[in-house]
Amino acid sequence: MDKPITVLYVEDDEDIRDVAELALEGDDFVLLTCECGDVALEKAALSSPDLLLLDVMMPDMDGPTTLRHLREMPHLERTPAIFMTAKVQPSEIKSYHECGAIGVISKPFDPMLLADEIKKIMERRSV
């Protein structure tokens, strides 16, 4: 990997956010961390992330709604998105793909494997 992947990461649960930040800190990822959809929209307007990593269930604006608003920004129309959620029934996963996600990471996730899981999903997309 040449340059780090800049990730716009949206997660309302502070503990989960902290674990993911620790799991992804390092040479491969730069995180733009947001605690809600509104903050994500503000940060996204001022940045060009390589990946959108979104929690599905959040108060006020859920992940799919946040993604829909992010897609309205011309520079993020084609930015890959991955949802992180405990809701991983086949019909739910299908609906995440239908709203534009390239992958789904189930919660609880293994912090030791999170970075590799994200990379694998992105590699599958670029094949």
Task: Tell me the CA distances in angstroms from 19 to 52, 72, 98, one per residue in order.
Answer: 17, 30, 28
**Nearest by Cα to 20 from 89, 102, 122, 118:** 118
| Res 91 pLDDT > 90 | yes
Q: Which helix (H) or strand (E) holds 52?
A: strand 51-55
- The residue type found at 102 is I
pLDDT at res. 126: 66
pLDDT at res. 99: 93
pLDDT at res. 3: 85
Which tens digits make up the pLDDT trace of 55-67?
999 999 999 999 9
* pTM (2 d.p.): 0.94
**CATH code at 5-119:** 3.40.50.2300
Average pLDDT over residues 78-95: 95
Distance CA 98, CA 78 (A): 14
